[in-house]
Amino acid sequence: MARGADRSDSTVMKTTSAPTAHGFGKNQSYRQAENLEERVKPRKDFLTRRSFLGKSLAVGAGTIGVGLLTGPRTAEARGGLTPPDAALLRFAAAAEILEADFWIQYNELGGVQDDEVPGGTGNADYTEAIEVLDEDMPIYIHDNTDDEITHHTFLNAYLVSKGAAPVDLEPFRTLPGSTATGSSGKLRLTNLTQLTIDTSWWTRYRIDDHNPDLDPNFTFPQAVPTLGVNQHTAIPRTDADTSDPNFLQAIANTAAFHFPTIEQGGNSLYPSMALRATSAEVLRILISIGPTETMHFQTWSDKAGNAPPLTAVDPVTGVSVTFPDLEVDDETLNKSLIMPEPCPFLDPSLPICSIIRPTQTSGVAMRTLQFLTDMGLFTGQSPAFFALMTQLAQDADHTRHGRRR
């Protein structure tokens, strides 16, 4: 259908999230390790990824080996990618594959069902709860899903076109998803049923005297504090989750805040990585995809404000969640203020400016990975998955463009 038409227990680290200045979520506790970087020692040789990337890495393994011995100018003269640029695009591709995976789950249950995003059959009760926020929510979910699929498809195809290895996460598609009506029942890469959502981005974009890049120790208040503790499901796990209208609306509200929480991460990730690109074409890719994440973020931040105030208790876990009324006069919480408020930028002595925040490049890939992990998105994933994602993040974070940091 054309756009615009109607249309368990984990073996991974157990984390809780607290708001951080960077807005990626700061880990407080782990089940298996203190942090992701302890899973893989920094800067392992690129060849260690062969056991994880499987066939896709085999396609480009020779290219990677050559790239490590080839200077940036030589690689570009051959029409290829420098190893740093390839590392940036590989991390972006991995992030987009993961993003597409959970958006597909949302679309199967609450989005438009068509040939553009096939798989599910829709869940009428969940869709109705989603539509309480906006009657066009199924269209928005569908189009956001389609966007993420095109992003990772393009990035991997571009890598291959330049003789570089693409990213293949299919070996890690092992997580069970929803069994509710509408779900395809396919195995997943991501987990939407045990989320701990940091909603401090809400106030970070409304407060005009703090910037996480300049005030790393400032704590931005949460829009929905109870989402930031314990674990919450953003999709009906089974048909039983659709039997209580109040709890089902809480599930839909959780999804409504998860959408912009994810997209604001990409909103910062792309410009941060673009500052490290060495070629004009890779820079063009990053600054062309990045703004679409910003468009998603603003759309979803607007819809999240429409989440009806309520309190509900998960009948399975006993966890309670409360969604406050955000139609308030307080400018740090007011749901109508979806345009980024100006804030300090680069130097506090300069006038405030409306910007994307944060955009500090140092460690951005690892912070993004930690943010997603703390959220519970990878609950149930294997140590091998974390090893691969950590390596991809470290490779991206070790890139440099001149003196930029």
Collapsed DSSP state (helix, strand, coil) of residue 105 = helix
Token reading at 356: 């994307």
353: which strand partners?
343
Can you list the positions of beta strands (E) in 260-318?
Answer: 310-313
Provide the sign of the torsion angle of the four alpha carbons 356, 361, 367, 372, taken in this order: positive
Q: Tally the C-alpha atoms within 13 A of residue 222's C-alpha that lie toward its C-beta.
A: 20
User: Is the C-alpha dihedral spanning 317, 320, 323, 329 positive or negative?
Assistant: negative
- The C-alpha atoms of residue 21 and residue 215 are separated, in whole angstroms, by 7
Which of these, 379, 10, 392, lies nearest to 189 by C-alpha position? 379
pLDDT at res. 400: 72
CB-based contact 61:164 (threshold 8 Å): no
pLDDT at position 216 is 93
Give me the pLDDT at residue 297, please. 97
Buried b or exposed e, range 328-366, using 16+ CB within 10 angstroms? eeeebbebebbebbebbbeeeeeeeeebbbbbbbebbbb
Of 21, 16, 23, residue with least CA distance to 261: 23
Q: Return d(Cα 110, Cα 250) in angstroms, integer.
A: 14
Report residues of the chain scoring pLDDT below 50: 1-78, 402-405
| pLDDT computed for residue 66 by the predictor | 31
Following DSSP, what letter does each residue of 215-256 receive, concatenated? -TTPPPPPSSGGGGSS-B-SS-SSGGGGSSHHHHHHHHHHHH
Question: Shortest CA distance to 189 belongs to which of 212, 204, 205, 170?
Answer: 170
Angle, helix 280-304 to helix 83-110, in steps of 10 degrees: 30
The proportion of the chain whose per-residue pLDDT surpasses 70, expressed as a percent, equals 79
Kindly report whether the global pTM for this prediction surpasses the value 0.85.
no
Parallel/antiparallel/unpaired status of strands 320-323 and 310-313 = antiparallel
pLDDT of residue 225: 98
Helix (H) / strand (E) element for 268: namely: helix 245-274
Cis preceding linkage at 166, omega within 30: no
3-state secondary structure of 323: strand
* Confidence (pLDDT) at 54: 40
